[in-house]
Amino acid sequence: METKIWNVDKFVDKKEIYSQVVDASSLLAEGQVVAFPTETVYGLGADATSDEAVQGIFQAKGRPSDNPLIVHIASKEQLKQLVTDIPSQAEQLMDAFWPGPLTIILPSKKSVSSYVTAGLSTVGIRMPDHPVALAIIEKSGKPIAAPSANTSGKPSPTTAIHVWEDLNGRIAGIVDGGPTNVGVESTVIDCTQLPPMILRPGSITPEMISEVIGHIEVDPSTTNKMEKPKSPGMKYTHYAPNAQMTLIDGSQEFINKLIHKEQKNGKKVGILTTEENKAAYQADVVITCGYRNRLETVATGLYDSIRQFNESGVDLIFSEMFPNEGIGIAIMNRLWKACGHSIIRE
């Protein structure tokens, strides 16, 4: 399969990019699979109402079909076609955070493919905060199912180049709208229960949500495997580089001891760190993902940094820990999964 690439400028009014958007949207309307940028990561889109189109997502990614997909919409009118009920707390969250990186789980009207919901009675929906994504969805006339546009289990793509590396020849097209700015997938909150529960952390933090709707819960199993997950990212290994990655809960001196031990055993060792700490380590490969004092930059650079290790030829990777608060919760959630729950404590 030939994979087309369209280049667009997200800062240009959407009417000026319609030639590329029309092409991509036409393929989506025909049941093809197309990757496009959102503010979080690149999504792998297909018509959410078509079984055949949605199966194309699973085939391209190599993704298990019991993992639900998030549906992306461009308007609240589309939302009404997809769900049977919109609780008042969900309305408040939409008013506060849509368009934006918040996925809300609601009772499904079963108007989307059962492959999208993985057979559940609920569906996760969000309105992306990206002009290119919104233009594509609007022009296609369809709700678009769109998981991250990567090979299943690998780091999510934050540039079109990442998508090309993983899926060239396996999908119909890639809309290149430049790097994404959030860098980690959307927060997922289940509004079919009281109190609502966060199933996947993201840049919309529990504190931000609580300010809008009051008390919520955070599912402690978001880092554990589940038999029937309600949200993507809850069951299988995700975000992993080619080499084994391990979280290190300890001082820089302790991390350097671990590095030297592995180097003596003939291993080429990488360390994932921040700009502030990069000079502290004697690893063979030192890669930074942002600034520790600005965790939003770590979130933005995380997946690209993990992917860089694949080109470095390291045998194993050690990663620093990050504060488990604010957006740091999402960062640690992704690192925990990338490491396959492997951690060494001092």
Mean pLDDT by 10 residues, the chain (346 residues): 89 72 94 97 98 96 85 95 96 98 97 94 97 94 96 93 97 96 97 96 96 94 48 58 95 98 97 98 98 97 96 96 94 94 94
State yes or no: 126 annotated in a binding site: yes
Of 94, 95, 124, 93, the C-alpha closest to 108 is 124
Tokens found for residue 2: 């030939």
> Which residue is associated with the tokens 């589309």?
78
State yes or no: 238 annotated in a binding site: no
Containing domain of residue 108, as a range? 4-186
Q: In terms of domains, do 176 and 250 share one?
A: no
> Which residue is associated with the tokens 């390291």?
314
Query: Cα–Cα distance between 314 and 305 in angstroms, integer?
Result: 13
- Domains held by the chain: number: 2
Q: List Cβ neighbours of 5 (8 Å cut-off, separation of 6 or more).
A: 160, 164, 173, 174, 175, 176
The pLDDT value recorded for residue 99 is 98
Q: In terms of domains, do 147 and 248 share one?
A: no
CA distances from 296 to 229, 259, 289, 328 (A): 27, 27, 10, 8
The pLDDT value recorded for residue 218 is 93
> Are 201 and 192 a contacting pair, CB within 8 Å?
no
In a domain, 208, yes or no: no
The pLDDT value recorded for residue 17 is 67
Q: List Cβ neighbours of 282 (8 Å cut-off, separation of 6 or more).
A: 256, 259, 260
CA 18 from centroid of its chain's CA atoms: 26
Residue 257 belongs to domain with CATH number: 3.40.50.11030
The pLDDT value recorded for residue 237 is 57
In a domain, 57, yes or no: yes
The pLDDT value recorded for residue 35 is 98
Q: What angle do CA 51, 53, 54 make, to 5 degrees?
A: 65
In a domain, 230, yes or no: no
State yes or no: 305 annotated in a binding site: no
State which of 140, 155, 186 marks the end of a domain: 186
State yes or no: 299 annotated in a binding site: no
Query: Cα–Cα distance between 97 and 203 in angstroms, integer?
Result: 11
Q: In terms of domains, do 131 and 252 share one?
A: no
| Count of helices and strands (H, E) across the chain | 11, 16
State yes or no: 18 annotated in a binding site: no
State yes or no: 156 annotated in a binding site: yes
State which of 141, 170, 186 marks the end of a domain: 186
In a domain, 213, yes or no: no
State yes or no: 170 annotated in a binding site: no
User: Order of strands, edge to edge, in the sheet holding 4-7?
Assistant: 4-7, 173-176, 34-36, 43-47, 144-145, 70-72, 122-126, 102-107, 187-190, 197-200, 217-218
The pLDDT value recorded for residue 223 is 46
> Are 220 and 324 a contacting pair, CB within 8 Å?
no
Q: Where are the alpha helices (DSSP H) in 81-205?
A: 88-97, 114-117, 131-140, 160-167
User: What amino acid is encoded at 289 in this protein?
Assistant: C
In a domain, 252, yes or no: yes
Q: In terms of domains, do 301 and 181 share one?
A: no
The pLDDT value recorded for residue 43 is 98
User: What amino acid is encoded at 126 in this protein?
Assistant: R
Q: In terms of domains, do 182 and 290 share one?
A: no
The pLDDT value recorded for residue 1 is 84
DSSP string, 33-68: -EEE--SSS-EEEEETT-HHHHHHHHHHHT--TTS-
Q: In terms of domains, do 71 and 177 share one?
A: yes
Kind of pairing, strands 197-200 and 217-218? parallel
Q: Where are the alpha helices (DSSP H) in the chain?
A: 18-29, 51-61, 76-80, 88-97, 114-117, 131-140, 160-167, 206-213, 252-264, 295-310, 328-338
In a domain, 86, yes or no: yes
Q: In terms of domains, do 149 and 12 share one?
A: yes
Residue 62 belongs to domain with CATH number: 3.90.870.10
Q: In terms of domains, do 15 and 159 share one?
A: yes
In a domain, 235, yes or no: no
State yes or no: 63 annotated in a binding site: yes
Of 139, 122, 127, 132, the C-alpha closest to 47 is 139
In a domain, 164, yes or no: yes
State yes or no: 67 annotated in a binding site: yes
State yes or no: 135 annotated in a binding site: no
Query: Cα–Cα distance between 39 and 182 in angstroms, integer?
Result: 6
